[in-house]
């Protein structure tokens, strides 16, 4: 069982998730968008046992806070193996467009589609879902999907950026639609939703 806490941080209101494996107390952060006192305080309150940073993709508004967390807690950073170039290239991760300098960090575990990450007793499965970027992915654990900028409430992520592809996005959304059962969906921006709700109302899933 996991506990999920959401912090809306950064320049454009990115959903950053702090996830706790309730049995072990181990922690993971999904998409640390920027510095957040509240996030740091919550991690420290829970013993500072930050084991993983899970990146859904490499755009600046999802990775600015990675280096700070690495220096403070020394977690393992995970991201798609197809996203490494974008993470390190300012013109691709869009930081250059906004005049932002991102402190460098290392992706310790480049992930392939289907790879798993073990947080205490909880297992996260990485699903490669290109479209928003070529290495975008979702993390699936129990009945929850952390969908980054792939799937939103009644929408999907933009496909007009470097390495984006609407064709890939539609294939990725179809993969999500075809998952068995319902899931709570925790996107990179805006409100939470469920997979069944998106199957019914999201025009990109019709």
> Which pLDDT value is given to residue 63?
98
170 is written with which tokens? Answer: 């539609």
Q: Round to whole Å and give the CA distance between 79 and 54.
A: 6
pTM above 0.85, yes or no: yes
Segments in the chain below pLDDT 70: none
Q: Which pLDDT belongs to residue 172? A: 98
Q: What is the pLDDT of residue 105?
A: 98
DSSP state of 136: -
Predicted confidence at residue 154, as pLDDT, reads: 98
What proportion of the chain, given as a percentage, has pLDDT over 90?
A: 100
- Give the E-state strand segments of 142-203 in sequence order: 144-148, 151-152, 155-156, 184-187, 193-194
* CA end-to-end span of the chain: 32
Position 169 scores a pLDDT of 98
CA dist., res. 92 & res. 70, Å (int): 22
């Amino acid at each position: 069982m996991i506990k999920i806490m959401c912090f809306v941080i950064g320049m454009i209101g990115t959903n950053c998730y702090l996830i706790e494996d309730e049995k072990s107390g181990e922690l993971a952060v999904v998409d640390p968008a920027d510095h957040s006192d509240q996030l740091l305080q919550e991690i420290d309150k829970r013993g500072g046992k930050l084991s993983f940073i899970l990146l859904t993709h490499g755009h600046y508004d999802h990775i600015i806070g990675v280096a700070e967390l690495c220096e403070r807690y020394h977690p393992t950073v995970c991201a798609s193996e197809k996203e490494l170039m974008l993470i390190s290239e300012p013109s691709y991760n869009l930081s250059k467009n906004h005049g932002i300098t991102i402190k460098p960090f290392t992706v310790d575990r480049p992930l392939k589609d289907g790879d798993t990450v073990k947080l205490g007793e909880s297992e996260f499965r990485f699903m490669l879902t290109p479209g928003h970027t070529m290495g975008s992915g979702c993390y699936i654990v129990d009945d929850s999907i952390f969908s980054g900028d792939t799937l939103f409430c009644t929408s999907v992520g933009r496909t007009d950026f470097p390495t984006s592809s609407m064709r890939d996005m539609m294939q990725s959304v179809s993969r999500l639609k075809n998952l068995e059962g319902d899931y709570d969906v925790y996107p990179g921006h805006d409100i939470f939703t469920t997979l069944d709700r998106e199957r019914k109302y999201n025009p990109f899933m019709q």
